[in-house]
Structure 1
């Protein structure tokens, strides 16, 4: 099962470089490592600024595709199934992916292929630099697999670069030019600066504190729920005055969930002040709890027990 931990990277761009990149039509691109490689543009952004935050959770969807081709958008050919690390799902002889169940190595996601030649693929949930959450492809196997089991191992590492004429979901097989790899296997956040056409780690990174926890909810549900679906339902409600609050969801099993609201990382200036003022209002805790209850209702489940624990 997924551990639900939020990861984030903060991409800072020097003023002169920002103008050069924008004038030449470059997009800010992100990819996630799977099976030791990067081969799909996870997100590409045009409206980037001096300081940009991209975040994600290990919430995945498994699918199959009929092809892998560089510079072409991923074409999902099968149905998609929500999965977490340590899960497996079967692609039957008719080409239908069944629901995920626990099985296979705990560090990966296993496709049991009973169909025939297929390119296994993964999508993952992320929050883009504009604060919008979505689930988009991160990997497609470059060669089709035959009957049997195939292990997909996503790693908490991302690649960041600038590129012209590229879109979210584009496959690639050639190394990206002037890209930076950011490894978050042993940390939850990182900062990189792009200045004079080069990547570096700014010294100011040490000044940032870890995001404060706002509210933790532990709920026993009346029926099983998919962690990915619950997290995306709640995240979609965090807009307006709540846009600088993030949520992570974990589950020991489908009917017992832990929901953690926290500040987004690296808030500064007015945004930091507004969020701190918001947290002083007791109604904020009530509203965040209500968001969780609304998400339960949208997924058609109730709760047997619910414990909400405010805390910074």
Structure 2
């Protein structure tokens, strides 16, 4: 299982302005669901950032659970037990509201896993490991009936926002961001928030999109 590493550098004058104005450094990870590929949760939102010591590491480890419905600005809250799941596995959310242990998906698809819902219409959340801790990085934007197939994408966005905390649900971005594609032999990236307030990719790292 590969370990991915993102290094974030911040120009000193920009760092001072960001700190003075109570910004958070935010990261989100893309997930493909039945409605398409999207970002729905702030995977990490921290005010504890510095000029050159902002390192984020993660692997492909996931947990799934029922959660309260999607609401922009709210924090993700689990409403069931959490269960570990891996690619080509399936978790049953039973009629008592309990997430059962993951088993092999009878119709597996590479890079995906499934939640089968026997409880009733509800939202589901997913957490994945970041810097050694599990943090929410997805919630279904619509309630789920039947089953849902999820495919985490090796793509992250990085941006600064006002007081946007880890686990906050959101639907869009404002301001400058940078999007980085990992996967395969692309496991490390370094980005810099420069003196003009723009994101720059350092070196020959993963594919990048800026906005």
Q: By the TM > 0.5 criterion, same fold?
A: yes
1:178 to 176, 179, 184: 176
For 1:245, the equivalent position in structure 2 comes to none
Larger Rg: 1
For 1:119, the equivalent position in structure 2 comes to 123
For 2:65, the equivalent position in structure 1 comes to 63
Q: Secondary structure at the match of 1:19?
A: helix
- How large is the RMSD of aligned CA atoms in angstroms? 1.4
Tell me by how many angstroms 1:5 deviates. 1.0
Gaps of 5+ in 2: 206-211
Q: Which moved more, 1:134-143 or 1:46-55?
A: 46-55
For 2:87, the equivalent position in structure 1 comes to 85
Tell me by how many angstroms 1:93 deviates. 0.8
Kindly indicate whether residue 154 of structure 2 is the aligned counterpart of residue 150 of structure 1: no
Higher relative contact order (CA 8 A, sep 6+): 2
Q: Return the structure number with greater helix share.
A: 1
Tell me by how many angstroms 1:164 deviates. 1.2
Tell me by how many angstroms 1:175 deviates. 2.5
Q: Secondary structure at the match of 1:77?
A: coil
Does the Cα contact within 8 Å between 1:87 and 1:106 map onto a contact in 2? no
For 1:26, the equivalent position in structure 2 comes to 23
Kindly indicate whether residue 50 of structure 2 is the aligned counterpart of residue 46 of structure 1: no
Tell me by how many angstroms 1:174 deviates. 2.1
For 1:193, the equivalent position in structure 2 comes to 192
Matches for 1:204-215 after TM superposition, within 5 Å: 205=203
Matches for 1:187-266 after TM superposition, within 5 Å: 187-195=186-194, 196-202=196-202, 205=203
Tell me by how many angstroms 1:177 deviates. 2.6
In the alignment, the residues of structure 1 paired with residue 126 and residue 15 of structure 2 have an alpha-carbon distance, to the nearest angstrom, of: 32
Q: How many pairs are equivalent?
A: 196
Tell me by how many angstroms 1:66 deviates. 2.9
Q: Return the structure number with greater strand share.
A: 2
In the alignment, the residues of structure 2 paired with residue 5 and residue 69 of structure 1 have an alpha-carbon distance, to the nearest angstrom, of: 33
* TM-score, structure 1 as length reference: 0.61
In the alignment, the residues of structure 2 paired with residue 165 and residue 15 of structure 1 have an alpha-carbon distance, to the nearest angstrom, of: 20
2:110 to 97, 106, 111: 106
